[in-house]
Amino acid sequence: MRLEQVLPWGRSLKEYRDMFGLTQAELDLQILDCAGGPASFNAEMTALGKRVVSCDPVYQFSAEQIAQRIDEAVPQIVKSVEANREKFVWTGIDTLDELLRIRLTAMQTFLADFPQGLQAGRYRQDALPQLPFPDRAFDLVVSSHLLFTYSEHLSLDFHIAAITEMGRLAPDVRIFPLLMNMTGERSPYVDPVIEHFQALGYTLQIQTVPYEFQRGGNQILRLLSAPAGN
């Protein structure tokens, strides 16, 4: 991975709770965050005594390198949000300044936690579609703003391989959102992914969640499989 290819943009624990429809009880599960990037989910959850591991190839870089990449990427992201203002829902996050404040706070929280989290094995530079954990190592896998979001760069085969891997690691996998980044349209991979896993006997659900910033982006795809041994 080259760092200049990554658009680092990380969300907070509150946003993760809403994006994935996480209940208070679910926060106590052993959770894997795939493509965690500079989100503060892991840092904030750890501070609350919860158990989260985050995987992302960007964790091969140092906190200083990631911080520099965030600084470079912010103007680019601001420009893109400004040019596409009508594609976002400006309630909850009311202004571009508020958006920047929330995102930069989350990313600073991540950066402050990253060195110790790396040492503790909470941040791992592993990349989908192959993760080095035993079957059912987690209760829940969450993944936001990679799959479906970047459908123009990632193939259907990659999506299926990545979701297969996440389904191997936990009986409950939640992917947010179902929309593509640029167009804001639903990813053309959603239906083929559902058909593929339904044919294999998984239960799939599209659930509406209490988070919508990208207009229409308020749904997760949930992949449920029987616990190991059943």
Closer to ligand SAM by Cβ: residue 203 or 216? 216
Q: State the minimum distance, in angstroms, from the CB of residue 184 to ligand SAM.
A: 15
Per CB under 6 A, the list member of 128, 163, 169, 193 interacting with ligand SAM is 128
Is residue 133 part of the contact set for ligand SAM (CB under 6 A)?
Answer: no
For the chain, give the DSSP string.
Answer: --GGG-------HHHHHHHTT--TGGGGSEEEEET-TT-SHHHHHHHTT-EEEEE-GGGGS-HHHHHHHHHHHHHHHHHHHHHTGGGB--SSS-SHHHHHHHHHHHHHHHHHHHHHHHHTTSEE---TT-----TT--SEEEEESSTTTTTTTS-HHHHHHHHHHHHHH-SEEEEE--B-TTT-SBPTTHHHHHHHHHHTT-EEEEEE-S--SBTT--EEEEEE-PPTT-
Is residue 124 part of the contact set for ligand SAM (CB under 6 A)?
Answer: no
> Which of the stretches 34-42, 87-95, 192-200, 203-211 binds ligand SAM when contact is defined by CB under 6 A?
34-42
Per CB under 6 A, the list member of 17, 145, 174, 222 interacting with ligand SAM is 145
Is residue 36 part of the contact set for ligand SAM (CB under 6 A)?
Answer: yes
Is residue 57 part of the contact set for ligand SAM (CB under 6 A)?
Answer: yes
Is residue 37 part of the contact set for ligand SAM (CB under 6 A)?
Answer: yes
Is residue 39 part of the contact set for ligand SAM (CB under 6 A)?
Answer: yes
Is residue 56 part of the contact set for ligand SAM (CB under 6 A)?
Answer: yes
Interface positions with ligand SAM (CB under 6 A)? 6-11, 34-37, 39, 55-58, 127-128, 144-146
